[in-house]
Amino acid sequence: MEEVVNNLRTIVIVLGLLCFVAICYWAYSKHAQAGFDEAARLPLADDDLPASPADKEGMTNG
């Protein structure tokens, strides 16, 4: 019984390591770079939106 538990632990560790390596490979691949670049520019994209009425009121009351 102890051998079965040790084998299962080994299998889980190896699968976890393989998943980690696969995620790292995907994250640093050229294929994913375009999506990451787009996500990096998202905080700056809000500047092009028109101001809401609530924002305009805040500017006139100041």
Tens of pLDDT, residues 6-55: 999 999 999 999 999 999 999 999 888 888 899 888 888 776 556 677 66
HSE-CB of 26 using CA atoms within 13 angstroms: 7
What is the three-class DSSP state of 1?
coil
Question: Which pLDDT score, from 0 to 100, does residue 60 have?
Answer: 62
Output the pTM of the full model. Answer: 0.56
- 51 contacts: CB under 8 Å, gap ≥ 6: 59
- Segment (H or E) for 3: helix 2-27
- 59 contacts: CB under 8 Å, gap ≥ 6: 51
